[in-house]
Amino acid sequence: MGQSWDLLKVLTRRTVRARYRGSSLGIYWSLLGPLLTTVAYTAIFGRVFAKYYGGSLFLYAVGVFVGLTVANFFVGSTAQALASVVVNGELLNKMRLPMALFPLSTIAAWTFQVAAGSLPFLLVLSIAITRDPLHVLAVPLPFVALVLLSTGVGFFMSALYVFFRDVPYMYDFVTFLAWSTTPVFYPAAIVPERIRAILECNPLYPIVEGARETVVAGSVLDPWMFAQALGEGALVAVAGYAFFRALRPRFMDLI
């Protein structure tokens, strides 16, 4: 157990360092992309959508930033987890290592980045905007759900990729679909009622809406939405791991 923990630590650190090679400001650099995208969306859609945020362009921008943080985490971490077992195939052929560590350490590395980069930023925004300790305390909750969801999907995809090497192309399409059905830059309110019921099946939906509510919304928090997000996340995590575990004995022949 202690050994697995050590392994998770060194592998996670390896992944984090690989991303920020040679720049100590690395994690803050990673904020630059979403910030610029936020500026672009605000410039384009801000005037139209601000009315859903009480007419405030700033709140719309914050809402977009929250959405981007969630959606980018999901897309980026699961895409990297997808390759994690196959990429380390040579290593797995030379030493006995718990295979689950590879998708896990990828997700852990992304979690670390969000926890050190965007999350403090969102906490500060939440304090400044809502001035409500309850909202501020709830900020990390949707991210817990997000990490669980990404872990499950990461397990599932990394196992599938061992067997089918054309999976990344299809997964690109799946993540694009997930991205565009998540209310990242548009408010969920503009979606017609009937279609919104379909969008709510997207597990990212309650996470984005929940995260946005904790940072921007002045309204009372909806505990049901958090429970739904956490429950779905836990379910996907368990199912993903079960799938991974069931196929694991056949991995070594193909990597």
Partner 1 sequence: MLEGVSLWRTTREEYSFDLKRSLFAVLSGRFRKARRRKVLDNVDLRIEPGEKVGLIGPNGAGKSTLLKVICGILTPQEGKLVADGRIAPLIEFGAGFDVDLSVVDNIELYGTLLGRPRSEMLRKVDDILEFAELEDYRDATVRSLSSGMKARLGFAVATDMEPEILVLDEVLAVGDESFRKKSRRRIDRLWQDHVTVVLVSHDMRLIHEMCDRAIWMVDGAIRHDGPAEETTAAYFADVEASATEKIARTRAQLGIA
Q: Based on CB atoms, which residue is closest to partner 1, 63 or 103?
A: 103
Least distance from C-beta 14 to partner 1, angstroms? 5
As measured in angstroms, the least distance from the Cβ of 163 to partner 1 is 7
Distances (CA, A) of 28 to 17, 42, 72, 164: 14, 21, 15, 36
- The answer to whether 60 and 53 have CB atoms below 8 angstroms apart is yes
Angle at 23 between CA 21 and CA 24, to 5 degrees: 115
The residue within the footprint of partner 1, chosen from 44, 195, 198, 254 (CB under 8 A), is 254
Using the minimum distance from each CB to partner 1, give the nearer residue, 28 or 163.
163
193 binds partner 1 (CB under 8 A): no
User: What is the token pair recorded at 52?
Assistant: 């859903």
Asked if residue 24 binds partner 1 (CB under 8 A), the reply is no
Whether the CA torsion 50, 43, 203, 227 is positive or negative: it is negative
Q: Provide, rounded to whole angstroms, the least separation between the CB of residue 162 and partner 1.
A: 9
Footprint of partner 1 on 132-161 (CB under 8 A): 160
93 contacts partner 1 (rule: CB under 8 A) = yes
Q: List the end-to-end C-alpha distance of the chain, in Å, as a whole number.
A: 26
* Contacts (CB under 8 A) with partner 1, residues 168-187: 170
Q: Interface with partner 1 includes 91 (CB under 8 A)?
A: yes
Q: Is 226 exposed, middle or buried (0-12, 13-18, 19+ CB in 10 A)?
A: buried
Interacting residue with partner 1 among 39, 79, 97, 115 (CB under 8 A): 97
Task: Count the residues of the shown chain that bind partner 1, applying the rule CB under 8 A.
Answer: 31
The residue (of 8 and 115) whose beta carbon lies closer to partner 1 is 8
Closest to partner 1 by CB, 9 or 47 = 9
Sole window of 13-21, 44-52, 70-78, 232-240 interacting with partner 1 (rule: CB under 8 A): 13-21
Q: What count of other Cβ atoms lies within 10 Å of the Cβ of residue 176?
A: 11
CB of 242 to partner 1, least distance (A): 19
Q: Measured from the CB atom, is 38 or 158 closer to partner 1? A: 158
E strand residue ranges, 110-171:
none
| Closest CA relative to residue 168, chosen from 75, 233, 73, 30 | 75
Separation of alpha carbons 190 and 48, rounded Å: 11
Tell me the residue type at 3: Q
212/49 Cα distance (integer angstroms):
15
Instruction: Give the residues lining the site for partner 1 (CB under 8 A).
Output: 2-3, 6-7, 9-10, 13-14, 17-18, 21, 90-97, 160, 163-167, 170, 249-250, 252-254
